[in-house]
Amino acid sequence: MGKTAGKGHPALDTLEAVLRRLDQAHRLLLEEAERKRQAIVAGDLGALEAIVAREQELVAGIEKEEARRQAASRIARQALGLPEAKGKLSDLARAAGEPWSGRLETARARLREALVALRAKVRLNQELLKASLDHMAGFLQTLREAGGAQTTYTPRALKTQSGGRPLMDTSA
C-alpha cells in the first residue's frame, strides 16, 4: 500500500484536478472536431475558419495543462518517494493507494477514452478534407480540359479539330 493510503494529499489532489481539466479540454476539442466534420461535409468555409481558430485556442490551453500535468506528476512522484523512472500515471496510481488509486485510474481512463475518440475524429476529418480536395482537383481538371481543342466528327464522319467550347454559357 502507498504512503498516502486513506489520507488526503495535496499533490495528488492537484494531479487529479489537472487530469480532469485535460479530459474536459480534450472533450471540447472532440466537439469542435465534430463541428468541423459537419462544416467540411456542408462545404461551409466560414464555419470551418471559425472552428480552426477555436481549435487553436483549445490546443494552446491543452499544451498549458499538459505542462501543469507534468509538473504535478513530478511533485506527486517525489511526494510518494518514487524514482524518476516510475513517473507514469499508472505507477503513481499504484503507489498512492486508495482512494487515490481508483480516482487517478478513473481520470486516466476518461482522458484516454477522449484521446482515442479524438484521434478517430481527426483521421475522419483528414480523409474528408482529402476527398474534398481530390474532388475539387478533378473538377478543375474538367474545366481545364473543356477549354482546350476537341476532336469532333462532321456529319460526313470527317475528323476535325475545333477550338475549345465554353463549359458554361456566360452570355446570359
Flag whether 163 is in a domain. Answer: no
Within a 10 A sphere around the Cβ of 124, how many other Cβ atoms? 15
- Judge whether residue 7 has pLDDT over 60: no
Q: Do the domain assignments include residue 38?
A: yes
Q: Tell me the chain's radius of gyration from C-alpha atoms.
A: 28
The grid coordinates of residue 128 equal 474528408
Percent pLDDT > 70 in the chain is 80
Please indicate, yes or no, if residue 24 is contained in any of the structural domains. Answer: yes
What distance lies between CA 30 and its chain's CA centroid?
Answer: 7
In a domain, 165, yes or no: no
- At residue 145 the predicted structure's pLDDT band, cuts being 50, 70 and 90, is confident
**SS3 of 151, please?**
strand
Q: Where does residue 129 rank: exposed (0-12), middle (13-18), buried (19+ CB within 10 A)?
A: middle
Distance of CA 13 to the CA centre of its chain: 28
Interatomic CA distance for residues 157 and 160, integer angstroms? 9
Residue 50 placed within a domain? yes
Q: Which span out of 53-62, 80-89, 148-157 was modeled with the highest average pLDDT?
A: 53-62
- pLDDT tens digits, 113-128: 999 999 999 999 999 9
Closest C-alpha among 18, 29, 25 to residue 120: 29
Average pLDDT, the chain: 84
Report if residue 134 sits inside a domain: yes
Q: The domain that contains 114 carries what CATH number?
A: 1.20.58
Domain span holding position 72:
10-147
List pLDDT tens digits, range 18-34.
999 999 999 999 999 99
Question: How many domains does the chain fold into?
Answer: 1
Domain assignment present for residue 2? The answer is: no
Backbone φ and ψ of 152, nearest 5°: -130, 165
Give domain status of residue 171, yes or no. Answer: no
Residue 36, exposed/middle/buried by CB under 10 A (0-12, 13-18, 19+)? buried
